Amino acid sequence: MSRYDFTTQRLFLDAPLDAGARVVLDKGQTNYLVNVLRMREGDPVLIFNGRDGEWRATLAEAGRKGAVLRADEQAREQTPASSLHYLFAPIKQARLDYMVQKAVEMGAGLIRPVITRRTQVTRLNDDRLVANAIEAAEQCGVLSIPEIAAPEPLSALLARWPKDEPERRIIFCDEDETGADPVSILRALPKGPLAVLIGPEGGFSPEERETLHALPFVTAIPLGPRILRADTAAVAALALVQAVAGDWVEGGSGPAV
């Protein structure tokens, strides 16, 4: 039997959930369930809020002006948010949507845009980033919506890292790193929280690479012999880290859902 119920519609709700709770849906959610999916009163829905676990619910009211869901029983208890952080240089919108969705699927607990010297996109639509994270969580059984942090210059992030994240190591995906085995590098790391850093289209500048290589809390790994697009590199790096040092292995950094 599957670990999750993928046949029932899942919906993220920013409201407290407990047995018998009635949640009034907003206009968009009502339109999606009633008009797009054509659900009717009595139909089942899975709901979650990132705090109270996942609940089996029923569409209690389905009128033209609004809909109400009733929480019936808890289907899954809340799990801790993943400890894995994903740091990335923003890219163009369509590929950025994909990147955020995949980061959620791969178990990132925090998603932080960083501005590098070669970053071409510096203005981000915060609401769209959150919407993509929620959509990915709804579709993939994730219980915790990752935090979306404000964009920050890479230099500022690195300067404050030893104080704010003294135990977290940055895994720096270096496109110019060759001849090393990333699996062996990751296996040799002491256990602890990790952050994955992906650079912009065009890669990090020579000065940024020099700085990153010199920092004691940064570990550089290669991602194979081919040049990867930023969004592809994100999936490859997150999968590699989760498989070797993350929550895909016993004793990893924390649960993905």
Residue 170 has pLDDT above 80, yes or no: yes
Q: 61-98, pLDDT tens digit by residue?
A: 987 778 999 999 999 999 988 999 999 999 888 889 99
Q: Which of 155, 152, 146 is nearest to 111 (CA)?
A: 146
Q: Which of 180 and 154 is assigned the larger pLDDT? A: 154
Residues 105 and 132: their CA atoms lie apart, in Å, by 11
pLDDT value of position 250 = 62
Q: Whose CA is closest to 48, among 84, 82, 5?
A: 5
Under a CB-based contact definition with an 8 Å cutoff, are residues 10 and 140 in contact?
A: no
- This prediction's pTM: 0.90
pLDDT interval class at 119 (50, 70, 90): very high
Domain boundaries in the chain? 10-76, 85-245
Domains 10-76 and 85-245 equal at CATH topology level: no
CATH number attached to the domain at 10-76: 2.40.240.20
Q: What's the whole-number average pLDDT of the chain?
A: 91
Give per-residue pLDDT as tens, 208-243: 999 999 999 999 999 888 888 999 999 999 999 999
pLDDT, tens only, 142-152: 999 999 999 99
pLDDT at 48: 97
Superfamily name with CATH number, domain 85-245? SPOUT methyltransferase, trefoil knot domain (3.40.1280.10)
